[in-house]
Amino acid sequence: MYSLLIKHFFRLKTVWLVFGILIILGAFSISTGKQFLSQKEEAITKAITQQQKHLKIQRQYHKDDIGLLSYYLKFLFINPVQPLAGISIGQSDLNSYMQSVSILALEGQKHNTDLVNPMRQQVGNLDVGFLIVFLFPLIVITLNFNLLSDEEEKGTWKMIVIQSKSSFKFLLTKLSIRLVFVFAVLGLLFLTSKMILGIPFTKDFFIIIAMSYLYVLFWFALCFFVILLRKSSSTNAISLLASWLLLVVFLPVTISNYITNVYPIDEAFTMEIKQRDAYHEKWDTDKKETLEKFYEHYPHLKKYGFKTEGFSWLWYYAMQQMGDDDSKTECEGLYNKIKKREVLSKKIAQFFPPLQLQLSMNTIGKTSLSNHIDFLSATTKFHEGVRLDIYPKIFENHHPDVVDFEKYKPEFFKSETNFSLIKNVFSMFVISLILISFGVFINVKHFC
Partner 1 sequence: MKNDVVVLLGRQFFKKTFSKKSLLALLLLFVAVLTYVTINGWNAFEDRHENIEHHQNESRDSWESNPDKHPHRMAHFGSFVFRTQHPLRIFDSGLESYTGNSIFLEAHKQNTANFSEAALSTGLVRFGDLNIALLLQLILPLIIFFIGYASIVSEKENGTLKIIYLQGVSMRQILLGKVLGLFMVSALFFIPALIALWSIAYLENHDMNSELIMRSFLITMSYVLFFIVLCFVTVIISAKSENSNKALLSLLGGWLLFFIIIPKTAQVVGSYIHPNLSKIEFREAIEIEVAKQGDSHNPDDPYFNKIRDSVLKTNNVTSVKELPFNYSGFLMSKGEEQSAKIYANQHNKLIESYEKQNSITNGLVLLNPYLAIKNLSMGLSGTDFYNYTNFLSQTEIYRYQQSQYMNTLQMKFISNKAEGSEGKVHVVDKSYWKDAPKFDYKYVAVFETMKHQLLTILALLVWLLLILIMTYFSNRFKII
- Of 4, 11, 117, 444, the one binding partner 1 by CB under 8 A: 117
Rule CB under 8 A: say whether 114 interacts with partner 1: yes
Q: Which is nearer to partner 1, 83 or 365 (CB)?
A: 365
Rule CB under 8 A: say whether 79 interacts with partner 1: no
User: Are β-strands 98-101 and 411-412 bridged in parallel, bridged antiparallel, or unpaired?
Assistant: unpaired
The interface mask with partner 1, positions 208-237, x = CB under 8 A, is -------------------------xx--x
Rule CB under 8 A: say whether 272 interacts with partner 1: yes
Distance CA 415, CA 373 (A): 11
Q: Give, in degrees to the nearest 5, the angle at Cα 30 between 27 and 35.
A: 120
CA distances from 206 to 188, 201, 270, 361, 440 (A): 14, 7, 43, 11, 31
Tell me if 283 sits within 8 A of 365, measured CB to CB: no
Rule CB under 8 A: say whether 39 interacts with partner 1: yes
Rule CB under 8 A: say whether 112 interacts with partner 1: yes
Q: Which is nearer to partner 1, 74 or 168 (CB)?
A: 74
Query: DSSP state, 275?
Result: H
Distance of CA 164 to the CA centre of its chain: 49
Rule CB under 8 A: say whether 23 interacts with partner 1: no
Rule CB under 8 A: say whether 5 interacts with partner 1: no
Rule CB under 8 A: say whether 427 interacts with partner 1: no
Tell me if 57 sits within 8 A of 217, measured CB to CB: no
CB 102 → partner 1: shortest distance, Å? 12
Determine how many CB atoms are found less than 10 A away from the CB of residue 260: 11
Rule CB under 8 A: say whether 268 interacts with partner 1: yes
Rule CB under 8 A: say whether 41 interacts with partner 1: no
Tell me if 29 sits within 8 A of 131, measured CB to CB: yes
- Of 3, 261, 418, 420, the one binding partner 1 by CB under 8 A: 261
Rule CB under 8 A: say whether 100 interacts with partner 1: yes
Rule CB under 8 A: say whether 168 interacts with partner 1: no
Rule CB under 8 A: say whether 196 interacts with partner 1: no
Q: Which is nearer to partner 1, 153 or 296 (CB)?
A: 153
Stretch that binds partner 1, among 2-10, 92-100, 176-184, 208-216 (CB under 8 A): 92-100
For the four alpha carbons of 127, 130, 132 and 137, in that order, the dihedral sign comes to: negative
Strands, E, within 70-227: which ranges? Answer: 75-78, 98-101
Tell me if 57 sits within 8 A of 79, measured CB to CB: no
The amino acid that residue 238 corresponds to is I
Stretch that binds partner 1, among 96-104, 166-174, 218-226, 418-426 (CB under 8 A): 96-104
- Helices within 264-312 (DSSP H only): 267-280, 287-297
- Of 12, 27, 172, 253, the one binding partner 1 by CB under 8 A: 253
Q: Of the candidates 185, 191, 187, 88, which has an alpha carbon nearest to the alpha carbon of residue 142?
A: 185
Distance of CA 113 to the CA centre of its chain: 17
Stretch that binds partner 1, among 165-173, 178-186, 242-250, 379-387 (CB under 8 A): 242-250
Q: Which of residues 315-354 bind partner 1 (CB under 8 A)?
A: 338, 341-342, 345, 349
Q: Which of residues 294-313 bind partner 1 (CB under 8 A)?
A: 310-311
Query: DSSP state, 142?
Result: H
Distance CA 380, CA 301 (A): 19
- Of 8, 56, 63, 120, the one binding partner 1 by CB under 8 A: 120
- Of 22, 37, 84, 98, the one binding partner 1 by CB under 8 A: 98
Rule CB under 8 A: say whether 43 interacts with partner 1: yes
- Of 8, 10, 20, 46, the one binding partner 1 by CB under 8 A: 46
Determine how many CB atoms are found less than 10 A away from the CB of residue 437: 12
Rule CB under 8 A: say whether 448 interacts with partner 1: no
Q: Which of residues 361-400 bind partner 1 (CB under 8 A)?
A: 362, 367-369
Stretch that binds partner 1, among 94-102, 215-223, 290-298, 417-425 (CB under 8 A): 94-102
Q: Is 371 exposed, middle or buried (0-12, 13-18, 19+ CB in 10 A)?
A: buried
Q: Is 354 exposed, middle or buried (0-12, 13-18, 19+ CB in 10 A)?
A: buried
Rule CB under 8 A: say whether 121 interacts with partner 1: yes
Rule CB under 8 A: say whether 155 interacts with partner 1: no
CB 168 → partner 1: shortest distance, Å? 26
Q: Which is nearer to partner 1, 311 or 441 (CB)?
A: 311
Distance CA 285, CA 164 (A): 92
Distance CA 102, CA 156 (A): 75
Q: Of the candidates 120, 99, 106, which has an alpha carbon nearest to the alpha carbon of residue 47?
A: 99
- Of 5, 23, 138, 229, the one binding partner 1 by CB under 8 A: 138
- Of 276, 293, 307, 328, the one binding partner 1 by CB under 8 A: 276
